[in-house]
Amino acid sequence: VQTVYSFGGNADHSDPRQKDKIVTGGKGANLAEMASIGLPVPPGFTITTEESVRYLNEGADFSDTLRADVAKALEHIEQTVGKSFGSKDDPLLVSVRSGARVSMPGMMDTVLNLGLNDETVGGLATTSGDARFAWDSYRRFIQMYSDVVLGIDHGLFEEALEIAKEDNGFYADTDMSAEDWQSLVAQYKTTVEEELGKPFPQDVQEQLWGAIAAVFDSWDADRAKTYRRLNDIPADWGTAVNVQAMVFGNMGDTSATGVAFTRDPSTGEKAYYGEWLVNAQGEDVVAGIRTPQYLTQRRREAAGASAPSMEEAMPEAFAELAETFDLLERHYRDMQDIEFTVERGKLWMLQTRSGKRTANAALKMAVDMEGEGLIDRKEAILRVDPMALDQLLHPTLDPDATRDVVTKGLPASPGAASGKIVLDADTAEQWAQLGERVILVRVETSPEDIHGMHAAKGILTARGGMTSHAAVVARGMGRPCVSGASAVSIDREARTLRIGSREMKEGDTLTLDGATGEVMAGVVVTIEPELAGDFGVLMEWADAERRMGVRTNAETPADCRMARQFGAEGIGLCRTEHMFFDAGRIRSVRQMILAEDEAGRQGALDALLPEQRADFAAIFKEMSGLPCTIRLLDPPLHEFLPTQDADFADLADATGLGVDHLKRRAAELHEFNPMLGHRGCRLGITYPEIYAMQSRAIFEAACDVAAESGEAPVPEIMVPLVATRRELAILKEQIDTVAEAVFGEKGRRIDYLVGTMIELPRAALMANEIAHEARFFSFGTNDLTQTTLGVSRDDAARFLAPYVERGIFARDPFVSLDIEGVGQLVRMGVERGRQTRADLKLGICGEHGGDPASIAFCEEVGLDYVSASPYRVPIARLAAAQAAL
């Protein structure tokens, strides 16, 4: 196989390997592609990624084949441009550029102007007729080569340049004359000799091979390794090396260099976008030494800048560039990110690749390009990263508004919100009922804070990571959340807080940006998301392609309404315990739990029944006619137990039982490992009245709504934490009995299904048995992950991050399904369940239902639907469509 591929001039670009990024890297493949479609690309060659792997494996040694092939390819450049490498009369200069499969910061920087030495610099001065340019190029080369290849601190050179300018009274590099540069070169060479103990290499072959080796070696440099680890890039890819004839943007005022996008990468608008600099080279544009100028006249005018745009200053080169933009977009059928140079009026293309873009821009470009006929609908659907939609669905901060940032925490849940600080959940609820917008600020949150989190527009916590309770619940609810803001300290007695050095009190206003983690004092204007327009169009296309249904996890009418706006086709998980935590109810719930006997329990349940019925009726109305999966009470009773003295006193009043007695009872119910304790269907089996009450509330509400609206909901009653067929059989019989009783009382029947969650490994193993009793399965992958991995989600924070960092888990298994492991149980559950009951309805309701990679897996195993929190519904719709394509 070929080790080196030439491009440009009369090179043969027909070997498909040359345009394969795997072989020639992203830069090399695209340079060959551009050259082969006739664009002006300076000639050069690419050494394959395979050679870098070989070099590193063989102890940093170049093969003879490679040396011979490089020599030949270099000749091709010489012939094409009519100069020769190392010639003191008319020297060829080259750049040496690294180029892995994907663009990788952390790799070696490019070396420009290679081939200059004390002799060739004279030749360059003569042929260009510009001594200043020649010496400027030489000093750039020494500086870059010394830094990148020889490992000498570039600060030494920058310092010398600053001193030289100061001594001459100059401000800008452009003030330096040929002689000034020449004397700086002498200084640079002395510096190199001092640092290295030997002179700067004058042999151009030594320079070339030194640079090639540096590119190869940079693959194994620490910063490249770190980048690879963080971005899941395998170590065996290697990097290509591109050696290319130099073209010069620093040959005076008819020369320039620039970078451009064929469309606006932040808005997606179909308008060229870019920056350029006259009389400059390479990285000058991005380096920030000089302020770059706008590419187009329109942009320059909009910005009120005085330095001319390229469109105005170099109309001919600009026109050619614009034509090239259009040609490249048509060729690659995507927005391109381009690097170019103009040498004495002549345009040269140095790089092109598909450009990075914001979520907004990705959406607009996908829809626009379909309209332009550049791509078809399927391609448009595939062009948008579902996760990027997350940014689009939430309010964002007005980028032009001023921000008084007081601290920064973790960006735990996206979106932005302003409101008055409240320090506990009850206050949050009370103030919200009075119409205030509130931000709940807590050290950390617990299940007892749910109602306050619901009432708040945003949540700020001093402790906790990205998978803390606050973060998980906030993401589920679509509330912006900043967690782990350690500069926040709260004085609950005084109702004040300190953020860094700032003193604040309850009622002061605060703004959170859950996308960045920024916490700001006062109100910052937010912008509401746009759900119609391009977003609506793309979603419609996605819906037409997907096979799986998309439901939502919701337990309040407001969330249901939101989810329907986002396109939910039903409820996949309604967690009834969330209704139990509501302010007015928790007392009855506690009364029920702490009751001595069935009679006491029944009394409390009787009080809860009308409330639950009203909850379900409201939800059924919002979801008119759509399927609603309602999970019966699941969490360990432990979680509802009072902890504060005030709560015990309150309960004692309500029940007439003594505080001591209640405390003893609570102590009895204490569990060491509630996650594996008295919860789920185990509650239903031991306290049948609880599920009986809940079933009754569901059926009564369903009958009432059917009578009222004529549109009967389809309740799917879901029994949690089932491990055995018998558990479900007992509970199903009880639910059916309640149903018959209610239908008799109401004089009407409605359709309903009884099913179960598959969230214990045993349930997946026994799915064929369990399916005899279940009309549907919903994979509860949160618990299934916990129980399969033997990892408690609440305690995982301490080791999960290091586990992911060290590659023990590719991703957090609570965020993205462990397909290899837990996935096997899901697959088994699907297969065994369907063996027993071919029309078994199958869904997923863990957090994974909103994760694109997990959704792709759900499509593969043939689930009927996925269920995600309301804000994740559009993500799921798009991901399900992509999975189906």
What is the H or E stretch that residue 649 is in? Answer: helix 645-655
Task: Return the beta strands (E) in 438-568 as ranges.
Answer: 438-442, 458-461, 481-483, 488-491, 496-499, 502-505, 509-513, 518-521, 526-527, 549-553
- From CA 420, how far away is CA 509, in angstroms rounded? 4
Please give the residues from 262 up to 321 whose contact with Mg ion meets the rule CB under 5 A: none
Q: For ligand ADP, how many residues bind (rule: CB under 6 A)?
A: 16
Q: What is the closest distance, in whole angstroms, from the C-beta atom of residue 827 to ligand ADP in the complex?
A: 43
Contact assessment for residue 417 and residue 440, using Cβ atoms and an 8 Å cutoff: no
Known binding-site residues for substrate equal 575, 631, 759, 780-783
146 binds, among Mg ion, ligand ADP, none (CB under 5 to 8 A by kind): none
Q: What is the closest distance, in whole angstroms, from the C-beta atom of residue 113 to ligand ADP in the complex?
A: 9
Torsion of CA 200, 204, 205, 211, to 10 degrees: 60
What is the H or E stretch that residue 831 is in? Answer: helix 822-836
- Comparing CA positions, the residue from 246, 244, 250 lying closest to residue 344 is 250
Specify the amino acid at residue 780. G
Q: What is the closest distance, in whole angstroms, from the C-beta atom of residue 246 to ligand ADP in the complex?
A: 4
- Closest CB to ligand ADP among 343 and 769? 343
257 binds, among Mg ion, ligand ADP, none (CB under 5 to 8 A by kind): ligand ADP
Q: Kindly list the catalytic residues.
A: 469, 845
Q: Does 553 bind ligand ADP (CB under 6 A)?
A: no
Q: Which residue has the tokens 């059928």?
A: 333
- Closest CB to ligand ADP among 281 and 756? 281
- Closest CB to ligand ADP among 256 and 633? 256
**Listed ranges 12-20, 238-246, 532-540, 760-768: which one lies at the site for ligand ADP (CB under 6 A):** 238-246
Which of 120, 244, 250, 782 is close enough to bind ligand ADP by CB under 6 A?
A: 244
Which pair of structure tokens corresponds to residue 820? 């290899």
Q: What is the closest distance, in whole angstroms, from the C-beta atom of residue 321 to ligand ADP in the complex?
A: 14
Q: What is the largest CA-CA distance in the chain?
A: 106
246 binds, among Mg ion, ligand ADP, none (CB under 5 to 8 A by kind): ligand ADP
Which of 95, 309, 407, 695 is close enough to bind ligand ADP by CB under 6 A?
A: 95
Which residue stretches of 105-177 are H helix?
Answer: 120-128, 131-148, 154-168
- Comparing CA positions, the residue from 580, 582, 583, 600 lying closest to residue 592 is 600
- Closest CB to ligand ADP among 25 and 713? 25
Q: Does 42 bind ligand ADP (CB under 6 A)?
A: yes
Which of 110, 250, 468, 588 is close enough to bind ligand ADP by CB under 6 A?
A: 110
Q: Does 282 bind ligand ADP (CB under 6 A)?
A: yes
- From CA 431, how far away is CA 819, in angstroms rounded? 44
- Comparing CA positions, the residue from 387, 363, 696, 281 lying closest to residue 535 is 363
- From CA 790, how far away is CA 812, in angstroms rounded? 14
Q: What is the closest distance, in whole angstroms, from the C-beta atom of residue 315 to ligand ADP in the complex?
A: 22
- Closest CB to Mg ion among 103 and 128? 103
Residue 69 makes CB contacts below 8 A (sequence gap 6+) with 2, 3, 4
- Closest CB to ligand ADP among 97 and 299? 97
- From CA 592, how far away is CA 603, in angstroms rounded? 8
Which of 173, 534, 783, 847 is close enough to bind Mg ion by CB under 5 A?
A: 783
783 binds, among Mg ion, ligand ADP, none (CB under 5 to 8 A by kind): Mg ion
Q: How far is CA 222 from each of CA 105, 109, 217, rounded to the nearest angstrom?
A: 12, 14, 10
- Closest CB to ligand ADP among 48 and 413? 48
Please give the residues from 720 up to 779 whose contact with Mg ion meets the rule CB under 5 A: 759
Q: What is the closest distance, in whole angstroms, from the C-beta atom of residue 208 to ligand ADP in the complex?
A: 14
Known binding-site residues for Mg(2+) equal 759, 783
Contact assessment for residue 48 and residue 4, using Cβ atoms and an 8 Å cutoff: yes
Specify the amino acid at residue 691. Y
Q: Does 780 bind Mg ion (CB under 5 A)?
A: yes
Q: Does 114 bind ligand ADP (CB under 6 A)?
A: no
Known binding-site residues equal 575, 631, 759, 780-783
788 binds, among Mg ion, ligand ADP, none (CB under 5 to 8 A by kind): none
Binding mask 332-371 for Mg ion (x = CB under 5 A): -------x-----------x--------------------
Which pair of structure tokens corresponds to residue 395? 């309010």
Q: Does 32 bind ligand ADP (CB under 6 A)?
A: no
- Closest CB to ligand ADP among 24 and 341? 341
Binding mask 320-349 for ligand ADP (x = CB under 6 A): -------------------x-x--------
- Closest CB to ligand ADP among 246 and 481? 246
Binding mask 489-528 for ligand ADP (x = CB under 6 A): ----------------------------------------
Helix (H, G, I), strand (E, B) or coil at 473: helix
- From CA 229, how far away is CA 765, in angstroms rounded? 36
Q: Does 264 bind ligand ADP (CB under 6 A)?
A: no
- Comparing CA positions, the residue from 283, 245, 293 lying closest to residue 115 is 245
Which of 6, 18, 49, 257 is close enough to bind ligand ADP by CB under 6 A?
A: 257
Which of 350, 456, 719, 770 is close enough to bind ligand ADP by CB under 6 A?
A: 350
Q: What is the closest distance, in whole angstroms, from the C-beta atom of residue 337 to ligand ADP in the complex?
A: 10
Q: Does 351 bind ligand ADP (CB under 6 A)?
A: yes
Please give the residues from 845 up to 874 whose contact with Mg ion meets the rule CB under 5 A: none
- Closest CB to Mg ion among 720 and 870? 720
Q: What is the closest distance, in whole angstroms, from the C-beta atom of residue 148 to ligand ADP in the complex?
A: 11
Residues making up the chain, counted from first to last: 885
Q: What is the closest distance, in whole angstroms, from the C-beta atom of residue 772 to Mg ion in the complex?
A: 22
Contact assessment for residue 572 and residue 849, using Cβ atoms and an 8 Å cutoff: yes
DSSP 90: S
Q: What is the closest distance, in whole angstroms, from the C-beta atom of residue 250 to ligand ADP in the complex?
A: 9
- From CA 843, how far away is CA 267, in angstroms rounded? 37
Q: What is the closest distance, in whole angstroms, from the C-beta atom of residue 97 to ligand ADP in the complex?
A: 3
- From CA 259, how far away is CA 287, in angstroms rounded? 12
Torsion of CA 7, 12, 15, 18, to 10 degrees: 0
- From CA 24, how far away is CA 153, in angstroms rounded? 31
Contact assessment for residue 667 and residue 631, using Cβ atoms and an 8 Å cutoff: no
Which of 283, 312, 444, 864 is close enough to bind ligand ADP by CB under 6 A?
A: 283
- Closest CB to Mg ion among 250 and 526? 250
Rg (CA), the chain: 34
Specify the amino acid at residue 468. S
759 binds, among ligand ADP, Mg ion, none (CB under 5 to 8 A by kind): Mg ion
Q: How far is CA 623 from each of CA 325, 520, 609, rounded to the nearest angstrom?
A: 49, 37, 21
Q: Does 239 bind ligand ADP (CB under 6 A)?
A: no
> Which residues face 490 on adjacent strands?
497
- Comparing CA positions, the residue from 762, 767, 685 lying closest to residue 719 is 685
- Comparing CA positions, the residue from 557, 552, 558 lying closest to residue 570 is 552
- Strands 405-408 vs 518-521: parallel, antiparallel or unpaired: antiparallel
Helix/strand/coil (H, E, C) string of 864-885? Answer: CEEEECHHHHHHHHHHHHHHHC
Binding site for ligand ADP (CB under 6 A): 42, 95, 97, 110, 112, 244-247, 257, 282-283, 339, 341, 350-351
Binding site for Mg ion (CB under 5 A): 339, 351, 759, 780, 783
